Amino acid sequence: MRYRSLGAVLGLCWLVISCSNSGHSGEPAPEAATGCPSDLPSSADCSSATPSYATEVSPIISDKCLPCHFSGNTLSSIALSDQAHVKSQLSMALTQVYHCNMPPSDAPGLTSDERQSLLRYLVCGAPNN
């Protein structure tokens, strides 16, 4: 368990560092390159603004992610069927949502509010709240 948490923290640190460096290292920010917004929330907001998994995040994941990312799907080995699965895929999920790779372009996209809730939840460590 400790190693999974450490992996999630390291993945989050890598994402924050790479995002904060984009534009400084010659690499464009996501929005400049693809139309994807550069809107990663600050982890400073986590003490008071972490979205609830049960009321805010779970409905988004059910609607936008579970059509492909369910347990037993042979096309995707990544299951996001409950909070524990989401937390175990934290780094990957955060990276894919932030860079607008998920949901894919041929699936219904996230609204701006859904994107912010999901990103804030993931940045804050995907708590079981």
What is the pLDDT tens value at each position of the chain, 129 positions in all? 444 444 444 444 444 434 443 433 334 445 444 689 999 999 988 888 899 999 999 999 999 999 999 999 888 889 999 999 999 999 999 999 999 999 999 999 999 999 999 999 999 999 999
Structural domain range at position 20: 2-123
Burial of 125 (0-12, 13-18, 19+ CB in 10 A): middle
> For residue 37, is it within any domain?
yes
> For residue 128, is it within any domain?
no
Asked if residue 78 lies in contact with residue 92, where contact means CB atoms within 8 angstroms, the answer is yes
> For residue 117, is it within any domain?
yes
b or e along 15-52 (b: 16 or more beta carbons within 10 Å of the residue's beta carbon)? bbeebeebeeeeeebbeeeeebeeebbeeeeeeeebbe
Q: Which parts of 22-68 fold into alpha helices (H)?
A: 30-34, 46-49, 58-64
> For residue 49, is it within any domain?
yes
> For residue 129, is it within any domain?
no
Count, residues in the chain: 129
Instruction: Give this prediction's pTM.
Output: 0.74
Q: What's the confidence (pLDDT) of residue 69?
A: 95
Q: What is the DSSP letter of 29?
A: P
Considering its fold, how many domains does the chain have in total?
1
Two structure tokens written together for 105: 């372009």
- CB-based contacts of 70: which residues, under 8 Å, 6+ apart? 79, 80, 81
> For residue 99, is it within any domain?
yes
> For residue 83, is it within any domain?
yes
Distance CA 88, CA 7 (A): 9
> For residue 52, is it within any domain?
yes
